[in-house]
Amino acid sequence: MQLSIVVPTYNEAPNIEELVRRVAAATRGMDVELIFVDDSTDATPDEVRRVAASAPVPVRLIHREHRRGGLGGAVVEGFEAAAADICLVMDGDLQHPPEEIPAMWHRYRHGDVDVVIASRYSGGGTSGGLADNTRILVSRTSTALTRAMFPIRLKGVTDPMTGFFLVDRRALDLATLKPRGFKILLEILARKNLRIAEVPFDFADRYAGQSKASLRQGFNFLSQLTALRFGKMSLFGLIGAFGAVANLAIMWGLTHAGMGYVLAAIIAAEVTIVGNFLLQERFVFQDMKGDASGVWSRFAKSFGFNNAEALIRIPVLAFMVQTWHISSVVAAAITLVVAFFVRFMFHSLVVYAPRRAEESARVRRLVNELDAQAMTPGEL
């Protein structure tokens, strides 16, 4: 068996026959199997059995009475049951086009990667199958937040939230996976350093049925993300909270000494910006400094961004005080909470982003050239 295709399903009965037909057509000439890991409460299991009886490829069904780990748990069970070591995961609603399977398989066959990700945001990929602009915004934001939390592990990964990927299960330690939702790829990438490649794909419309996206799934995702990256974000949050308290204390002291609240907010912001940077360097991003730009470059980026953020935040603070007539300290506290998330994403993705090898090489060449010119004999 060359490839095991794992399809976690939940009430996807109308899509089963078309999915099997298109997978079989796309993988003609390949030795593949389809494994449906099903958590459905409708007729999906019966439909899988009916289609399997005449399918041109082997079709297996694992129907779970207890849905442990949600969709992610279903994928792990599919990995464990697969006949092939190379497993491809895709949704059962045909938003992941089966026609892309050969491209993913051939990319893996190059032999230099453990995971091939079908990306909506790489090359010619598109996310047109998302229902509306709100879901597109949610998808983009959650992707950016995820990459901010794992800037090293997800370096070069444009779509860590996709459910369409191929992986060599021999590169994984299935026992260490703790699936708690529907973003199993994130779980895989966050827990182990893997060699990754991407291929673009067009995220299609659902063939039939209703989307399973919900507010509850959004909370599950945030819970999963926090659990995976708890250490770094919690430290950033702790320093941010300390900085916020210091900011408010400085502002309170200055306003009670007779200074206007706008000037007091500016001074408090500048002091805490410098203090937060020093603490983040020491306690939060110390593991990323070696691959990032120099300390003065990091400071310039951090200082510049935080001042730009303050230029936006302080007028908002003034608007809240003058228009809504709330305490200046309370208004500052509200704006600082919102600013926390924006700051974390910027520092992870920009300030401490790993330098690209070609940039480092150019800098080294420039330094060497300047050094050579400086040491060349000449006339005064």
Residue 319 corresponds to which tokens in the numbers above? 């608007």
Set out the domains of the chain in order of their start, with CATH numbers: 3-228 (3.90.550.10), 230-359 (no CATH)
Separation CA 37–CA 92 (nearest Å): 10
Residue in 28, 242, 234, 221 with CA at minimum distance from that of residue 141: 221
Tokens 């935040």, residue? Answer: 313
373 falls in which pLDDT band (50, 70, 90)? very low
What's the confidence (pLDDT) of residue 326?
84
What residues contact 329, with CB distance under 8 A and at least 6 apart?
248, 251, 252
What's the confidence (pLDDT) of residue 164?
93
Number of C-alpha atoms within 13 angstroms, CB side, residue 345? 14
What's the confidence (pLDDT) of residue 16?
94
> What are the DSSP E strand ranges found in the chain?
3-9, 32-38, 59-63, 86-89, 115-119, 165-168, 196-200
Average pLDDT, the chain: 82
What's the confidence (pLDDT) of residue 378?
42
Q: Among 110-119, 180-189, 264-273, 316-325, which range has the highest average pLDDT?
A: 110-119
The answer, yes or no, to whether residue 380 has pLDDT greater than 70, is no
The answer, yes or no, to whether residue 227 has pLDDT greater than 60, is no
Q: In this structure, how many other beta carbons lie within 10 angstroms of the beta carbon of residue 134?
A: 9
What's the confidence (pLDDT) of residue 170?
93
Residue 257 corresponds to which tokens in the numbers above? 């000494």
Separation CA 315–CA 310 (nearest Å): 8
Give the DSSP letter string of 15-63. GHHHHHHHHHHHTTTS-EEEEEEE--SSSHHHHHHHHHTT-SS-EEEEE
User: What one-character DSSP code corresponds to residue 348?
Assistant: I
Separation CA 39–CA 11 (nearest Å): 8
What is the value of pTM for the model shown?
0.60
Summarised one tens digit per residue, pLDDT across range 149-193 is 777 778 788 888 888 999 999 999 888 776 665 578 888 887 788
What whole-number percentage of the chain has pLDDT above 70? Answer: 81
Separation CA 253–CA 363 (nearest Å): 46
